[in-house]
């Protein structure tokens, strides 16, 4: 994990044009996977404090990466979706993750990659 992180960090910094940082990137990923989603759901998914998540969401809205709309089920709550700019940022972050994974896993042969993939899938299954 340390090797993965040390390779990913400089790549992510280069493409983080909006300076949203790691937590902002994680929030963008959650929104991209679960849109529309509430701040409460994001906080639960990431295991973070709702107030911290709300502050970062406000930053993402100001930067034009996320848009808020009133939730149909509860007018006090907001649904969050990515803007076109937010989608582009997530795509850039995804590219950095893919390149980092390729670099990190390049030491494995095809058989080891298949074994690793199978084990990871088993671990991540609900």
Region 29-55: mean pLDDT is 94
Place of tokens 């960090």: 9
Report the run of H or E that residue 68 belongs to, with start and end.
Answer: strand 66-70
pTM of the shown model: 0.81
In 3-state terms, what secondary structure has residue 38? coil
> Is residue 1 scored above 80 in pLDDT?
no
- CA-CA distance, 56 to 39, in Å (whole number)? 10
Distance, in Å, from the CA atom of 6 to the CA atom of 113, rounded to the nearest integer, reads 21
The pair of structure tokens assigned to 3 is 């090797």
What pLDDT is stored for residue 35 in this prediction? 87
- Please give the mean pLDDT across all residues of the chain: 90
Give the per-residue pLDDT at 14: 86
pLDDT recorded at residue 6: 83
For each of the domains in the chain, give its residue range(s) and CATH number, in order of start: 2-124 (1.10.10.10)
| Mean predicted confidence (pLDDT) in 112-125 | 90
């Amino acid at each position: 994990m340390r090797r993965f992180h040390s390779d990913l960090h400089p790549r992510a910094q280069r493409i983080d044009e909006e300076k949203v940082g790691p937590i902002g990137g994680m929030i963008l990923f959650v929104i991209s996977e679960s849109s529309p989603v509430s701040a409460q759901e994001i906080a639960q998914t990431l295991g973070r404090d709702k107030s911290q998540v709300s502050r970062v969401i406000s930053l993402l809205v100001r930067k034009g990466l996320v848009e808020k709309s009133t939730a149909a089920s509860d007018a006090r709550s907001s649904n969050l979706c990515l803007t076109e700019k937010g989608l582009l940022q997530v795509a850039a972050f995804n590219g950095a993750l893919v390149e980092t994974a390729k670099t990190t896993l390049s030491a494995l042969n095809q058989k080891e990659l298949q074994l690793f993939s199978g084990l990871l899938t088993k671990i991540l299954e609900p």
